[in-house]
Structure 1
Amino acid sequence: MKLHIYAVRHGQTYFNRYNRLQGWSNAPLTAQGITDADEVGKRLSQINFRAAYSSDTDRAQVTAQRILKLNIASQPRPELKAIMNFREQFYGYFEGQDMGSAWLAAGGPHGAPTYTQIVKQFGLAATRDFLKEADPFHDAESDTEYWRRVEQGFQVIASDPQLLDNDRVLIVWHGNSLLSLVHRFGGSAYEHSERPKNGSVTCFDFDSNLSFEESIRIVSYGQ
């Protein structure tokens, strides 16, 4: 079964505005975040979604609900399924901290004091592994732990009895997760040095007949 996924980054939150790490934390949408959700809802209003998923964080669910409310092509509108598998990565001890300070703590001991430098020198997976290493409680997710959880989320979609081949599915997700997805599956075909904007849409095909490593083909990023 091949599905066409429309993955939306949630609207702006206060932690986004303040440049703080926001993984499993639940900062609410700002006024701009509500506008982000409504604008992308209008853009996607003519897409016939057979199913709708989101992270179970408030920011993702509110964004998804506003998108579905504006959708006129899906009859009936799908019921939103919010699952923890599509949460942003868990930053552990560093949840809510200033991004610059957190990435300095993670990458500084390795000679890479910023997120960009960690990725450039060691790869994106190292951002998760270095942060877990720097976390005094080691609660932050490693790269392996993060992808195991996300893969289980796609297994939930693949087992959805309502879905048929070539159906369209909405997922409201998170910035670093979308960046990570394109980094892993998009290769050099896409510019993925920065997270997509709040309210942007990333499109990809998901083929549940293939192994996870081969199952995703990026169509567009952060549009």
Structure 2
Amino acid sequence: MNIYLVRHGKTIFNTQGKVQGWSDTPLTSKGRAGAKTLGEALANEPIDHIYTSDSGRARETAHLIRLHSRNDQQIDIQGNKALRELYFGGFEGGYNIAMLEALKKGLPDQYKDIHMLWDVPLDIVVDTISAIDSSQQAENWEQYSKRLQEGINEVVQDAQAQGFNNIYIVSHGLTIRAMIRLFGYSGSYDDIENCSVTYVTYENKQFLVQHVNEVKY
């Protein structure tokens, strides 16, 4: 099975530099254009089904991809709340820079001098955000990874039951990073960009990440 993980298009909060986990804002004109371009690039590619986070920005991206891939009547879009972004608790809707500054202060000592956040193990990042969240509602790594694993299992089981070979999952930046970590990927990459494609194969109950954050389409 071919699995294509797509990050949603750019949103208002992305543009404003605000934390956007379970909070949600619409795609900007640039975000819609990015989804349109990706859809057009997929016009001659097989798409059996599109699964998506139930967040509005992911759904909007999925519908634009379907529309512009010229498969509007043939492809179903199926939402799944387990594919949502991390819930950032009290940081939701605030500025990214404020959360990042608090995160740096809260990280274990061995990570204090790391300049790029993606060099810190993702489970450490998530658990630190959860620990420093004043609302005490942000998900920790155990909660987040369990939710995602359950969502991935649901998607794969559904796809296999229906005989799908080429599926798209429209989700979120941190969530795609978390997914490929769960798949055992340890390669280096800088970020998961809006409307990027991360390609994964699934065979004999094994996930293999083929490439990450592809934007040259």
Same fold (TM over 0.5): yes
> Hey, what's the Cα distance between the residues in 1 that align with 2:191 and 2:25?
18
**In the alignment, which residue of structure 2 is the partner of 1:81?**
78
- Note the C-alpha offset of 1:162: 5.0
Alignment of 1:3-152 (within 5 A): 3-72=1-70, 77-110=74-107, 111=109, 119-120=118-119, 123-152=121-150
TM normalised by structure 2 equals: 0.87
TM normalised by structure 1 equals: 0.85
| Residues 133-157 of structure 1: per-residue CA shift (max 9 Å, x gap) | 1112221111111111111111211
Name the amino acid aligned to 1:83. Answer: N
- Establish whether residue 199 from structure 1 lines up as the match of residue 195 from structure 2: yes
Identity of matched residues, %: 25
- Note the C-alpha offset of 1:24: 0.7
- Equivalent pair of 1:53/1:170 in contact (CA under 8 Å): yes
- Equivalent pair of 1:104/1:113 in contact (CA under 8 Å): no
Pair 1:26–1:143, CA change in 2 (3 A): same
Structure 1 vs Structure 2 CA RMSD: 2.2
> Hey, what's the Cα distance between the residues in 2 that align with 1:114 and 1:18?
27
- Equivalent pair of 2:66/2:72 in contact (CA under 8 Å): no
Where does structure 2 lack aligned partners over 5 or more consecutive residues?
none
Pair 1:169–1:50, CA change in 2 (3 A): same
> Hey, what's the Cα distance between the residues in 2 that align with 1:38 and 1:119?
29
| Residues 140-198 of structure 1: per-residue CA shift (max 9 Å, x gap) | 11111111111111121122165327x0001111111122333453213xx32x32211
- Equivalent pair of 1:103/1:115 in contact (CA under 8 Å): no
Name the amino acid aligned to 1:90. Answer: Y
Name the amino acid aligned to 1:85. Answer: A
> Hey, what's the Cα distance between the residues in 1 that align with 2:156 and 2:106?
41
SS of the residue 1:49 aligns to: coil
- Equivalent pair of 1:118/1:124 in contact (CA under 8 Å): no
Where does structure 1 lack aligned partners over 5 or more consecutive residues?
none
Pair 1:158–1:131, CA change in 2 (3 A): same
- Note the C-alpha offset of 1:88: 0.7
SS of the residue 1:100 aligns to: helix
> Hey, what's the Cα distance between the residues in 2 that align with 1:130 and 1:75?
42
SS of the residue 2:48 aligns to: strand
SS of the residue 1:29 aligns to: coil
Pair 1:118–1:39, CA change in 2 (3 A): closer
